[in-house]
């Protein structure tokens, strides 16, 4: 008889824990209104990816200047929305002219009208650019701005340039 009483007590305790978890999950203070996305670069569907980028996707506000206004020129930017954009490199790669070891980094950028500075930084799990510290910079490269079709939502993707050469593309509203 005692054994069945213990079993009922355990079931009641488990039910109470599940109820607590469920009711706590319903008390979220604020949901993130900016969706996150992941961009992978793979050489095939079955191979491990070479690069993965996790980023927030801010949307373009109509009739609002983005670059040079909402995202100021010559200032560090988190390269997306909310959390700093994170890049995982699965094997050592050349990033610009520097060999970068496999690992996880944060991507920051300094937008400008004609070129952007792209920064890989080893200080991960940070909110936006608020915790940016240049002592953790691994590499900085400058890349030209090219005009393409405006994107309503900030997007990151990859283009294969040559057999062992890819470019990461940031696309959003035009700076003009």
pLDDT in tens, 59-76: 766 777 888 888 999 999
Instruction: Please report, for residues 7, 68, 159, the alpha-carbon distance to residue 12 in angstroms, rounded to integers and kept in the order given.
Output: 9, 59, 56
For the segment 154-176, what is each residue's pLDDT rounded down to a tens digit?
Answer: 889 998 888 788 889 888 875 44
The whole-angstrom separation of Cα 132 and Cα 110 is 12
For the segment 96-106, what is each residue's pLDDT rounded down to a tens digit?
Answer: 989 999 999 99
| Own/partner long-range contacts of 93-97 (Cβ < 8 Å, ≥24 apart) | 93/50, 93/51, 95/120, 95/138, 95/139, 95/141, 96/139, 96/141, 97/141
More confident residue, 33 or 65: 65
Q: Looking at the whole model, is its pTM more than 0.85?
A: no
- Structural contact between residues 119 and 139, judged by C-beta atoms closer than 8 angstroms: yes
**What's the confidence (pLDDT) of residue 149?**
73
Average pLDDT of the segment spanning 78-95: 94
């Amino acid at each position: 008889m005692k054994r069945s009483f213990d079993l009922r007590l355990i079931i009641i305790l488990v039910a109470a824990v599940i109820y607590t978890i469920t009711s706590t999950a319903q008390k979220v203070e604020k949901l993130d209104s900016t969706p996150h996305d992941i961009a992978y670069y793979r050489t095939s569907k079955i191979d491990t990816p070479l690069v993965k980028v996790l980023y927030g996707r801010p949307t373009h506000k109509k009739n609002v200047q983005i670059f040079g206004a909402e995202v100021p020129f010559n200032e560090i930017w988190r390269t997306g929305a909310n959390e700093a954009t994170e890049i995982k490199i699965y094997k050592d790669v050349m990033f610009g002219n520097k060999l970068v070891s496999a690992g996880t980094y944060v991507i920051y950028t300094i937008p400008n009208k004609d070129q952007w500075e792209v920064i890989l930084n080893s200080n991960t799990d940070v909110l936006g650019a608020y915790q940016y510290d240049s002592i953790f910079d691994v590499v900085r490269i400058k890349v030209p701005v090219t005009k393409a079709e405006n994107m309503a939502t900030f997007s990151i993707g990859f283009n294969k340039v040559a057999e062992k050469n890819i470019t990461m593309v940031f696309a959003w509203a035009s700076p003009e």
